[in-house]
Amino acid sequence: MGYRSTVSYAIYAPEKVMLAKLAAWRLTGEHAQALAECSIGVHEGDGYITFDADDVKWYLQYEDVAIHERLWGELAQDSEFSGTFIRLGENDDDTECRNFGDGEPLMRVTRGIETNVPDFKPLRDTDRGVSGPA
């Protein structure tokens, strides 16, 4: 089993910059495995690389994690790129958020309450001040 996390990251740059970087990597084979696990696309003049994984063991000593950290690390050093990384651990207090670049963060952690209560017939109509079965 082991401790599991949900991980997402998104990296973007001007479309021409992103496409040039991807073309260079394609020639060298660099980051091929990580990129094969990512979604890559363009939108309104920007290029994007995104990654999402649920229920993963995100330990740096694991090669399938290290490949993504190397990709992240390389692009974090390039001033034309911006990125957001979020890892949510199993425990409520285990959240890791990282950003680089001058762009707007592409992701954020939200907090909410999800309920699994079935629809039921109310015993009290609070709008009319009536109690008892309707």
In this predicted model, what pLDDT tens digit does every residue of 3-16 receive, in sequence order?
A: 899 999 999 999 99
From residue 46, how far is each of 6, 12, 52, 109, 125 by CA, in Å?
26, 7, 20, 23, 53
CB distance 33 to 70 below 8 Å: no
Task: Name the residue with higher pLDDT: 87 or 92.
Answer: 87
* Cα atoms found within 13 Å of the Cα of residue 94, Cβ hemisphere only: 11
Residue extents of the structural domains in the chain: 5-106
What is the value of pTM for the model shown? 0.82
- Whole-number percent of the chain with pLDDT over 90: 73
Backbone angles phi, psi at 33, to 5 degrees: -65, -45
Q: How far apart are CA 51 and CA 38, in angstroms?
A: 5
Q: How far apart are CA 19 and CA 1, in angstroms?
A: 39
The CATH class for the domain spanning 5-106 reads alpha beta
Mean pLDDT across the stretch 54-60? 94
